């Protein structure tokens, strides 16, 4: 329970500073070079990466029927997203639109170190043609 509360607090903080992370370190259209750590991806890959981050932090997202778990719904609701579908909408639509400035369907994602104050579902994202 403490881990979930800490994760909730960290997610809330991330949502407040997400635009700052989006603007940081703009790679070129090729997502900089391989050593930069930026990977070019589409919206589905962005969501898949987000899911992997939640799972790595011990938060089950989907049940055996492919529906959001009660745990994930509660997690999302605690941030005002209503339920898991609301959080998915935020990641796939709202957050994506803030990053994909040129609206070409691609962004660049960079994994951040998984540390106590920076859980695995926090990433840095920029447009793939940011200057």
In tens, the pLDDT along 86-117 reads 999 999 999 999 999 889 999 988 877 767 77
Instruction: Report the number of distinct structural domains present in the chain.
Output: 1
pLDDT digits (tens, 9 = 90+) for 59-82: 999 999 999 999 999 999 998 999
CA 119-122-123 angle, to 5 degrees, is 135
Report the SS3 class of residue 66.
coil
pLDDT of 57 reads 86
Tokens of 40: 């070019």
Is residue 9 a contact partner of residue 16, using CB atoms and an 8 Å limit?
Answer: no
- Distance separating alpha carbons of residues 104 and 22, to the nearest angstrom: 16
Quote the pTM value.
0.71
Q: For residue 14, what are the domain limits?
A: 2-127
Q: What is the DSSP letter of 48?
A: H
The pLDDT of residue 7 is above 60? no
Is residue 18 a contact partner of residue 95, using CB atoms and an 8 Å limit?
Answer: yes
Q: What is the longest distance spanned by two Cα atoms in the chain?
A: 43
pLDDT digits (tens, 9 = 90+) for 11-55: 544 443 444 344 444 444 557 666 778 889 899 999 999 999 999
């Amino acid at each position: 329970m403490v881990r979930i509360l800490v994760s909730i607090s960290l997610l809330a903080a991330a949502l407040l500073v997400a635009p700052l992370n989006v603007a940081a370190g703009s790679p070129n259209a090729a997502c900089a070079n391989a050593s930069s750590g930026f990977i070019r991806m589409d919206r589905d890959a962005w969501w898949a990466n987000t899911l992997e981050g939640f799972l790595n932090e011990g938060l089950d997202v989907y049940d055996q029927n492919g529906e959001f778990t009660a745990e994930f719904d509660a997690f999302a609701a605690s941030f005002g997203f209503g339920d898991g579908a609301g959080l998915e909408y935020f990641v796939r639509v709202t957050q994506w639109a803030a990053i994909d400035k040129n609206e070409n369907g691609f962004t660049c994602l960079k994994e951040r170190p998984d540390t106590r104050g920076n859980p695995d579902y926090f990433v840095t994202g920029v447009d793939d043609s940011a200057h």
